[in-house]
A and B are shown apart, each in its own frame.
Chain A
Amino acid sequence: MRRGTPFTYALAVAVLAISGLLGIWGFRGSPFLDTADARVFERPDWTVGIDTPGSYPAYRLSADGTAVPVGRVVLLDDRRVEMRLFPDVEAVSYDDSRVVLLETDVKALWALVPAASKDEIARVGERLVSLMRDRFVAMVAQPAFVTDYREPLQRIIEDAYVSMWRDPKMQLINRTVSDMFNQADGERLAAAVLPIALPKLRSAVFEMVLPSWEAMHDLVVEGKLDTRPLERAAAEIMIDPKVQRLMMRHLFDIAEDERSWRVGALMVDAFFDTLTADPRLEPLVERMLRDPRFSRELRTLETELSAMSMQVFSRIVERGNGHPDTLAVRVIRYILLNRRRLVALVVKDGSPAARELSRYEPLVESRS
């Protein structure tokens, strides 16, 4: 048991004091910086019930859409949230910026994707539709499909379609779709599509109704009308690249409407419930997928789909610097984990990000 000297005692005290100060600096922040800029906002009603973990990260979106962490948003109580900015980040002027709160869901993920990336995704979507159509046509055009699969598959789908529309739920869906179409400026879409579609339809109608002995016989004696010209015209309209582009844009607009996801899900559910309930479907599809006569088409489709899904994923996740965005990754993670979490965004008015996030209500500063 040795004793120290005044110097060693002083040294020990100094080392302990410095360690303590460094610990405070490390754990709580620099003692030389002002405390964090904090501002209290009214808490949106839809966030009530999301209380875990009680505070969430806040980001600022840069010009290229990259999210930069700037602080935390803390749920103070059922009525108030507090935005706390890190003391060492660039000051935020709330006069020309707004704070929005997002739930980490698919909608938020899509809203965060910059406009340029959305255009690219639209282009990938167009290519995807075209690819699927080509592969489908290639398969359907094969004699093997016509002889072995066409009729049974057609019967199954027709039966499922008829059964689905008999479901009372579909009446509600019908009304919702109609509303959405109107709200998503469907008339403008129609106006854009009509100049392309009308010449084709007009010639088809002429062809259909031109008098011919055969046609007259079918109409008067058999009560039939030859609709094949009209079907051909409709198919030509749908494969027209201009129409496809317009439709794709319109689809994105509809996709941003929350109801579209619900309606889509309901329709898909209803259709697939009916379809899969049909005991004829599974053995037929299985047989088709294992049919070596379709293997080339299926393999091509698989490869292309894989490449395109990667492209879509990259566009959703990557930002201007070509690296994955931390916020997008965070949102995806919570979606995959099925956890309800929030993020706050500080968005500068008039920025591209502000336009993309215009559907979100900005937080209102609390007066209490």
Chain B
Amino acid sequence: MSQSKAGRPPAGTPVVAVEKLTIAQPHGRVLLHQADFALAAGEVVILAGPSGSGKSTLVNLLSGAISAADEGWRIAGHVTYGGSRVDLASERVTLGGVVFQNFALFDELTVGQNLAIAAEHNELVGPALVSAIDGLLKDVDRSVPVNSCSGGQQQRVAIARTLLGNHPVLFLDEPNSGLDVSASKRLAGLIRSLSRDVGVPVVIIAHHYRHLIDVADRVLMLDPRSHALVELPADAHRLEQELEAIEAAHGEPVAEADRPVAPDRVTAKVAVSAGPMRASAAWRLDWTMRFLAGYLWELCFSPSALLFVGLGSVIVGFVTTWFIFQYLPFRDLLLPIIHSDALAGVAFAELRVLAPLTTAVLIGTRNAALIGADIGHKVYSDQIKAMRNLNVPHDVYLTGTILVASAVASIVLVLMSECLTGWVAMATWAYIFPDDSTYMWRDQYFQRLWPPGQLLMDGTDWIAAKAVPSIVGAAGIALYFGYRAKSTVVDINQSIAQALIWGLSYILIWQSVLTLIEFKYVSARLETTF
């Protein structure tokens, strides 16, 4: 296969060939049967068909979102690209870069970072592609958050980012959805010139094909009657006639069939093929640290997290000390007798039980809500799919860093809670007994918990065993619900609610069980120090 100077084949050269492709959904519905098609360098192809005919499924298959390994799917056929032939029945292919309908830009990053993350996780692109991308984004400031760009700019950033993924095929999912006529025409021209400049075949999924078909070389239409991929000339009138005929014969399309594949059903059981197909995603330290810093701030150090822990600690330190020493029955008589033991008991309750519990409950639930919302939003807005498609390892950058940040949060915030609870307990006691030495408080408060000369408080291991798995576990639960398929905003809300409910239940169960075990061990040891 001859290559252009930019490393791309000349226009018109066949790039990808798909042979005898059969796709059957998990419920048994056949979308394609023994279909053949090819894509040539620099051509623009409209992928048309009624809703539910399998257009998105075909794109998902060729961009690696689904494979024969996913439960229930039956897939057969071969793909040939760059001298490699892949059996779709046994291997996953990531042949196409996808520009999602909602762009799926990583909204916590700037424009430049959106491009960089794609470029740094894929092979270097040629100068022609770089030049095309520069042309595409000549009016876009790359230092601004991507959210601050206009819709048109975001679409061009999404296209540029997908091009940086260096895929042999570019898929555009409903690119003109929501655009007015002139914008739609401008987009069509852009796609045409881009396809020519970079020599990549562009496949456009479009319901509104009026202006796009003008720049297309041909049309591939999914015919649900024959489960075939029918090639049509790039003629809007002809395409309309065909679609009307299908609808008349076939009735209402099955909407579910057109839905994207649920991410939780996309597993990596099938090896990603080498060579012209995608290499497995490799994580990079700089990006890991960048995501980790973001989640550390969000989950651990942000003022709201510190405020939660601060208020919780004040309540624990004040309430337990105040009520035990102020409202003790027969206070005057009993206080001199039990004062020392009461302080030791309060210390145990506050520092070993209540401070870790309160912190775990407050931070675990707060973070579960944040993680559920963040990941839920990323799933709903196709950012997770985009990360997979761009070879960006979300399991490291999102899942991994969230769990690490949660672990750090559990240590830092429990430590903070211990500090504040202890001080508030001391201040409350000093208010109740203004004539007594606070060093005596310290002496009696820590008499069984922190013997003089010992580096760490007794039971630090128990505190860590209760707090770290609580907060990290709640984060894991939130990740589970966050990663589940989302088709509406309500699904995000539900995943947040479920993350809260199950996360909190888990924290309470874990803390209760561990505290009971701790009491069993501690009571025997306390006997000797009493």
Interface residues of A (CB under 8 A from B): 1-4, 8, 11-12, 15-16, 19-20, 22-30, 36, 53-55, 57, 69-72, 74, 86-89, 323-326, 329-330, 337
- Which bucket holds chain B's interface residue count? 35 or more
Known contacts A19-B416, A88-B438; decide if A74 and B452 are in contact (CB<8 Å). yes
Contact in complex: A26, B336 (CB < 8 Å) = no
Contact in complex: B443, A36 (CB < 8 Å) = no
Contact in complex: B336, A4 (CB < 8 Å) = no
Please give the distance in Å from B73's CB to the nearest CB on chain A. 33
Per-residue contact bits, chain B 430-456, to A (CB 8 Å; 1 contact, 0 not)? 000000111110111010001111000
> Which of A19, A20, A72 gathers most chain B CB within 10 Å?
A19
Per the bound structure, the CA–CA distance linking A2 and B374 in Å amounts to 10
Contact in complex: A53, B423 (CB < 8 Å) = no
Per the bound structure, the CA–CA distance linking A89 and B437 in Å amounts to 6
Chain B residues with CB below 8 A from A16, complex form: 301, 306, 412, 416
Known contacts A36-B439, A74-B452, A326-B339; decide if A53 and B529 are in contact (CB<8 Å). yes
Contact in complex: A22, B306 (CB < 8 Å) = no
B295 interface contact, C-beta 8 A: yes
Chain B residues with CB below 8 A from A15, complex form: 303, 306-307, 310
Contact in complex: A30, B443 (CB < 8 Å) = no
Interface residues of B (CB under 8 A from A): 108, 291, 294-295, 297-298, 301-303, 306-307, 310, 332-333, 335-337, 339-340, 374, 412, 415-416, 418-420, 422-423, 425-426, 436-440, 442-444, 446, 450-453, 529-530
Known contacts A12-B302, A88-B438, A330-B340; decide if A69 and B443 are in contact (CB<8 Å). yes
Contact in complex: A72, B452 (CB < 8 Å) = yes
Contact in complex: A54, B451 (CB < 8 Å) = yes
Chain B residues with CB below 8 A from A22, complex form: 419-420, 423
Per the bound structure, the CA–CA distance linking A74 and B453 in Å amounts to 11
Contact in complex: B423, A88 (CB < 8 Å) = no
Closest 10 CB pairs of A and B: A23-B419, A86-B439, A26-B423, A26-B422, A22-B423, A1-B294, A1-B108, A69-B440, A324-B336, A15-B306
Please give the distance in Å from A129's CB to the nearest CB on chain B. 30
Please give the distance in Å from B271's CB to the nearest CB on chain A. 31
Contact in complex: A26, B333 (CB < 8 Å) = no
Question: Can you give 6 A-B contacts (C-beta < 8 A)?
Answer: A1-B295, A3-B297, A15-B306, A16-B301, A23-B418, A55-B452
Chain B residues with CB below 8 A from A36, complex form: 439
Chain A residues with CB below 8 A from B310, complex form: 15, 19
Per the bound structure, the CA–CA distance linking A15 and B415 in Å amounts to 13
Please give the distance in Å from B412's CB to the nearest CB on chain A. 8
Residue on A nearest B339 in the bound complex, by CB: A326
Chain B residues with CB below 8 A from A54, complex form: 451-453
> Which of B438, B450, B453, B529 gathers most chain A CB within 10 Å?
B438
Partner of A1, one of B291, B335, B453: B291
Contact in complex: A12, B306 (CB < 8 Å) = yes
Partner of B108, one of A2, A19, A55, A89: A2
New A-B pairs, 18, CB < 8 Å, besides A2-B108, A20-B416, A323-B336 = A1-B108, A1-B374, A2-B294, A2-B302, A4-B297, A12-B306, A16-B301, A19-B419, A25-B426, A27-B450, A69-B440, A70-B437, A72-B452, A86-B437, A88-B438, A89-B437, A324-B333, A330-B340
Please give the distance in Å from B320's CB to the nearest CB on chain A. 14
Known contacts A19-B419, A88-B439; decide if A323 and B332 are in contact (CB<8 Å). yes
Residue on A nearest B371 in the bound complex, by CB: A1
Contact in complex: B336, A325 (CB < 8 Å) = yes
